[in-house]
């Protein structure tokens, strides 16, 4: 029975990595769609979000079955509960990538991001993709250097997010209302994406060290 439980726990971990890989791919595709007004890539992100949702539901069902049937103790219980919470964060990250793709589709063939703030969004979206990549590596290895990098990337994205609002508030800002709304939303989506990456890293850090690191912006 114990061997079966460990096998099920390992499968849960592998499924969590698979979910993170789908999220990483979704954000990378959403970033490229946003940058180039690629509506076909945007449509792919939107349609593929259903796979992320389905895998998250399957993963949660497995975790709940383990809790109900195996009654795990101590560290195993923490692992299962943390997995449930991390899968929720990953699913939300997939939703945020989809939201960015939906903005691209909405404004096609026009660009969502005006030229004046394109460098900020290029940096912010690249950071979001990097955060997602480190989430995958962190879940695979539990090497906390990846958690450290996620912390740093989240800080950078928060700075970019503030830069967007400073640009909008500047007296020289001359973009139309819909454009201002679009980039405000896109910036918020990217900022929340890395917040959820930070949430995942915090839970892995807890599983490895037994210490809970509090982040004031954690979802």
Enumerate the domain spans of the chain. 2-209
Per-residue confidence (pLDDT) for residue 68, from 0 to 100: 79
Residue 73 backbone class (left: φ over 0; alpha: ψ -120 to 50; beta: rest): beta
Q: Which residues 6+ apart lie within 8 Å of 126 measured at CB?
A: 31
What pLDDT score does 211 carry?
78
Which residues are within 8 A (CB) of 160 and not within 5 positions of it... i.e. 6 or more apart? 120, 121, 123, 124, 127, 187, 190, 191
Q: How far apart are CA 11 and CA 16, in angstroms?
A: 9
The pair of structure tokens assigned to 114 is 């005006």
Give the pLDDT confidence score for residue 127 in this predicted structure: 98
The predicted structure's pLDDT at residue 216: 46
Q: What is the per-residue pLDDT for 212?
A: 72
Mean pLDDT by 10 residues, the chain (219 residues): 78 96 98 98 98 97 85 79 95 98 98 97 98 98 98 98 97 96 98 98 93 59
Is-above-0.85 flag for pTM?
Answer: yes
CATH 3.30.70.2700 for the 2-209 domain, yes or no: no
């Amino acid at each position: 029975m114990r061997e079966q439980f460990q096998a099920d726990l390992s499968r849960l971990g592998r499924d969590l990595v698979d979910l993170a890989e789908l999220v990483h791919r979704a954000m990378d595709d959403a970033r490229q769609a946003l940058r180039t007004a690629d509506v076909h890539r945007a449509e792919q992100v939107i349609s593929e979000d259903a796979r992320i949702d389905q895998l998250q539901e399957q993963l949660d069902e497995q975790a709940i079955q383990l809790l109900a049937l195996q009654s795990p103790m101590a560290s195993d219980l923490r692992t299962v509960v943390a997995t449930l919470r991390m899968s929720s964060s990953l699913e939300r990250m997939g939703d945020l990538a989809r939201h960015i793709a939906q903005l691209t589709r909405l404004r096609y063939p026009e660009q969502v991001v005006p030229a004046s703030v394109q460098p900020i969004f290029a940096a912010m979206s690249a950071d979001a993709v990097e955060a997602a990549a480190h989430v995958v590596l962190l879940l695979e290895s539990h090497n906390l250097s990846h958690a450290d990098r996620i912390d740093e990337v989240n800080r950078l994205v928060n700075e970019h997010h503030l830069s967007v609002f400073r640009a909008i508030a500047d007296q020289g800002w001359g973009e139309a209302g819909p454009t201002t709304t679009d980039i405000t939303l896109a910036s918020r989506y990217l900022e929340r994406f890395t917040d959820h990456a930070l949430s995942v890293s915090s839970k892995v850090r807890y599983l490895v060290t037994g210490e809970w690191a509090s982040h004031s912006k954690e979802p």
